[in-house]
Structures are given as C-alpha cells and as structure tokens.
Amino acid sequence: MLSFYAKELRPPFSIMLTEHDTLSRRCPMLGHEVAFSYCRRPGQEIPCSRMFDCWWEAIDIQAFVADNYSEEIQNAMIQPPKPKILSLIEIIEQARKTT
C-alpha cells in the first residue's frame, strides 16, 4: 500500500493540501473545466500524472507536490501510463473475479 502523505512537511513554508482547490482550468483529457481538487483526486488516491504540465503556470506545482505527497506517490505520478490494452485486460480480470 502506498503511503499517501509526505512524512515531513516543511513548515512554515509548506503548502496546504487544499490551498489551491478552488482554482480551475480546462482539462485537456476531459475537455471541460475542472477544479484543482479534482486534479488532486481524479477518482483515485494518486493525483493526476499531468498535474505538472497543467498547473506549472498557475502555481508552484513542484513545491505543492513535494510538500504534500510521499516519495512513493511522487514516483507513481511520474511513471509512464500503462498501454490501454493492459488496462483493459486488468479491468476484465477484475470483473471476472467479482462475478
């Protein structure tokens, strides 16, 4: 299980996890406006891997991620995405197990 939060924040300069939640922008994947809070938790515990590309102009996204997420999460965020066929196979296998 991944450890979600950084063990040591860097007070007094740490950025609160929810500090930017009300910011919004057009999502290049979904094609509509999304709040930063969605980018933090896009239906999974790990933030969207595109956060660095999408938010670097608006906020100090590097510092935000470094302050709020463990090294494991940060490493998971920079992993290349799985090929779609592998994701589909995993979904099919999970469906078979639950039926």
Residues that bind ligand SF4 (CB under 6 A): 25, 27-30, 34, 38-39, 42, 48, 50-51, 54
Measured from the CB of residue 52, what is the shortest distance to ligand SF4 in angstroms? 8
Write the CB contacts of 29 (distance below 8 Å, at least 6 apart in sequence).
50
Measured from the CB of residue 60, what is the shortest distance to ligand SF4 in angstroms? 15
- What is the number of helices (H) and of strands (E) in the chain? 5, 2
Q: Which is nearer to ligand SF4, 53 or 93 (CB)?
A: 53
Q: Which is nearer to ligand SF4, 9 or 35 (CB)?
A: 35
Residue type, 6: A
Measured from the CB of residue 38, what is the shortest distance to ligand SF4 in angstroms? 6
Let me know: does 56 contact 63? Beta carbons within 8 Å: no
Q: Which is nearer to ligand SF4, 84 or 96 (CB)?
A: 84
| Residue 67 backbone dihedrals phi, psi, to 5 degrees | -75, -25
